[in-house]
Amino acid sequence: MKDHLAGAEQAAKCLTACYEEGPEVFLQGLRDGVEAQGGMTRAARLAGLNRERLYRQLSRRGNPSLAGLNAVLTALGLRLRFAAG
């Protein structure tokens, strides 16, 4: 799966599919995306977050804030979008 998360376009498609499966699958996909694009240290630096905080937010029991989620997505070259169902 990590190969599909290395580029922004592929990551966007994969994370969209993960989101549709539920929060736990989405967080796993986001963790995999962070690892595929350089790791937690790099993502934390780009997102302007503390590395330990990022680990906690993206952990299995994590509950990232919208601001934290947006910062991580931006670090991965992604944006959050809304669409009518």
**Residue-by-residue pLDDT tens, the chain, 85 positions:** 566 677 788 888 899 999 999 989 999 999 998 998 899 999 999 999 999 999 999 998 888 889 999 999 999 899 988 889 7
The domain in which residue 22 lies consists of 2-75
Is 85 a domain residue?
no
Is 46 a domain residue?
yes
In 3D space, the residue among 41, 84, 51, 49 whose CA is nearest the CA of residue 67 turns out to be 49
Neighbours of 14 (CB within 10 A): 20
pLDDT at residue 1, rounded to an integer: 59
Alpha helices (H) in the chain, listed in sequence order: 8-21, 23-36, 40-47, 51-57, 66-75
Residue type, position 48, single letter: G
Rounded to two decimals, what is the model's pTM?
A: 0.83
How many domains is the chain built from? 1
